[in-house]
Structure formats: C-alpha cells, structure tokens
Amino acid sequence: MHTFLNILVGLALLSVLGVLGAGMIGMARDDGNPRRANKLMQWRVVLQGAALILIVLLMSLLRG
C-alpha cells in the first residue's frame, strides 16, 4: 500500500510540474489566450490539492 501511494504521490507531483511548465511556456510565448491560461491554473490547483491529500494520507498511514 505504501509503495502504491508513493507512486501516486510521485505521479501527482510530476503532473503538477507538467501543468506548471505548460503554463510558463504559454506565458513566455505570449499566446494571448486567457481561457487556456485560466484552465491550466485551475488544473494546477486541483492537482496540487490531490497531491497534498495523497501526502497527508501517506503520512497518516506511516504513523499508524
């Protein structure tokens, strides 16, 4: 179970990094599409929340 949660946490963190990178590349290119930038920001926040929940779950399982 711990290994599975570790893998999920890693995937969630890499997903956050990917969405953040896509947003930064779009900003550097000056795409001018505010809807896309807003959608990427929403996805980043959702993925960060999921990663945080997984980390808290993993820590609680390690404690108990």
20-to-4, 12, 14, 63 alpha-carbon distances in Å: 24, 12, 10, 31
Neighbours of 46 (CB within 10 A): 13
Nearest to 7 by CA among 44, 51, 43, 46: 51
pLDDT in tens, 18-61: 999 999 998 888 777 889 889 999 999 999 999 999 999 999 99
Residue 30: DSSP 8-state? T
Domain residue extents for the chain: 2-63
**pTM, full prediction:** 0.85
Q: Would you give the distance in Å from CA 41 to the centre of its chain?
A: 10
Residue 32: DSSP 8-state? -
